[in-house]
């Protein structure tokens, strides 16, 4: 079964603090995506990787956001410094290959920045 | 870039009735159109998808239709059940650039 484990599930932090969100795929994949979900803007693609290489980061809102994928089993999304408007649910998703279609989403990390 | 519009934003139906959700897209290069169901506290989960070379696809109580000329596609759920209550998202994709609609909150009343 395809799957993604995200951590933490919930994080509350204060403005200015660094936030690191983690994603661990537990099945084979070629692509890994980071999405952000808010009531106002819905599901937005932030960045995606193909075979651990960042391909398109045009959705990353600002330089405060960065993402890495050091190996096929792990990816991080970092926000430094965090701001209240970064409050959202962040999803990691994987796809096995370009044309198979389905994205397998994790359960998300709910971030609240006070 | 692609822009996906989804309607309605909320939909309430009686158990056993049908539900229809409609989406339009702007980029004629989009060739893959999935529908995702998101339950509270969970990530979206694919329920059905359709590619641009197909006009209709059905899977039990769920069907999707695609009109490429008009750039719109629809989700049809028949014989709705309370467990169908969730938020549904349509999406349109070209080359790994998948854009989602704003979502439809479906409530099925028993």
3-state per-residue secondary structure call for chain A: CCCEEEECCEEEECCCCCEEEEEEECCCCCEEEEEEEECCCEEEEEEEEECCEEEECCCCCCCCEEEEEEECCEEEEEECCCCHHHCEEEEEEEECCCCCCCCEECCCEEEEEC
How many percent of chain B have pLDDT more than 70? 100
* Residue of A17 and B1 predicted with greater confidence: A17
Give the Cα separation of A89 and A86 in Å (integer): 9
A16 Cβ contact list (under 8 Å, min separation 6): A81, A82
33-52 of B, contacting A, C-beta below 8 A: 34, 36, 41-46, 49, 51
Give the Cα separation of A82 and A64 in Å (integer): 8
Residues of B in contact with A105 (CB under 8 A): 43-45
Nearest to B33 by CA among B43, B42, B21, B41: B21
pLDDT at B68 over 90: yes
- The pLDDT assigned to B10 comes to 97
- The pLDDT assigned to B108 comes to 97
Alpha-carbon dihedral B25, B30, B34, B37, rounded to 10 degrees: -40
Is any Cβ of chain A less than 8 angstroms from the Cβ of B53? no
Is any Cβ of chain A less than 8 angstroms from the Cβ of B1? no
Residue found under tokens 């979900």: A37
Give the Cα separation of A104 and A6 in Å (integer): 12
- The pLDDT assigned to B27 comes to 92
Q: In B1-110, where do the E strands start and end?
A: 4-7, 10-14, 19-25, 32-38, 45-51, 56-59, 62-67, 72-77, 86-94, 97-100, 104-109
* Residue of A44 and A28 predicted with greater confidence: A44
Identify the residue among B6, B23, B44, B92 best suited for mutation to test binding to A, counting A beta carbons within 10 A and taking the highest. Answer: B44
* Average pLDDT of span B55-81: 96
Cα-to-chain-centroid distance, residue B28: 18
- The pLDDT assigned to A100 comes to 60
Q: DSSP per residue over B12-28, as a string?
A: EEETTS-EEEEEEE--T
Is any Cβ of chain B less than 8 angstroms from the Cβ of A74? no
Contact: A107, B41; criterion CB under 8 Å: yes
* Average pLDDT of span A79-86: 97
* Average pLDDT of span A67-91: 96
pLDDT at B23 over 70: yes
Buried b / exposed e over B83-97, threshold 16 CB at 10 Å, is ebbbbbbbbbbbebb
Identify the residue among B31, B32, B98 best suited for mutation to test binding to A, counting A beta carbons within 10 A and taking the highest. Answer: B98
- The pLDDT assigned to B16 comes to 97
Is any Cβ of chain B less than 8 angstroms from the Cβ of A55? yes
Count of other CB atoms within 10 angstroms of residue A48: 24
Find the CB nearest B34 among A42, A45, A101.
A101
* Average pLDDT of span A71-97: 94
Would strands B86-94 and B104-109 be described as parallel, antiparallel, or unpaired?
A: antiparallel
Averaged pLDDT of chain A: 92
pLDDT at A61 over 90: no
- The pLDDT assigned to B95 comes to 81
Identify the residue among B35, B36, B41, B96 best suited for mutation to test binding to A, counting A beta carbons within 10 A and taking the highest. Answer: B96
pLDDT at A2 over 60: no
Is any Cβ of chain A less than 8 angstroms from the Cβ of B105? no
* Average pLDDT of span B11-31: 96
């Amino acid at each position: 079964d395809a799957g993604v484990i995200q951590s933490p599930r919930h994080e509350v932090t204060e403005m200015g603090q660094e936030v690191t969100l983690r994603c661990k795929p537990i099945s084979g994949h070629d692509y890994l995506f980071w999405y952000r979900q808010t009531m106002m803007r819905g599901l937005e693609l932030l960045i995606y990787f193909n075979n651990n290489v960042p391909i398109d980061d045009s959705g990353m809102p600002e330089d405060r956001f960065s993402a890495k994928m050091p190996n096929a089993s792990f990816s991080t999304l970092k926000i430094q410094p965090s701001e209240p408007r970064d409050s959202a649910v962040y999803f990691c998703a994987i796809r096995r290959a370009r044309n198979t279609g389905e994205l397998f989403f994790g359960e998300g990390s709910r971030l609240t920045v006070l | 870039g692609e822009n996906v519009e989804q309607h309605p934003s909320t939909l309430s139906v009686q158990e056993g009735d049908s539900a229809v959700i409609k989406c339009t897209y702007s980029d004629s290069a989009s060739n893959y159109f999935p529908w995702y169901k998101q339950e509270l506290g969970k990530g979206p989960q694919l329920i059905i998808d359709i590619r641009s070379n197909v006009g209709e696809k059905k899977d039990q109580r769920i069907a999707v239709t695609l009109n490429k000329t008009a750039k719109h596609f629809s989700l049809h759920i028949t014989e709705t059940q309370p467990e169908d209550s969730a938020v549904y998202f349509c999406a349109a994709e070209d080359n790994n650039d998948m854009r989602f609609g704003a979502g439809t909150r479906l409530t099925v009343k028993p």
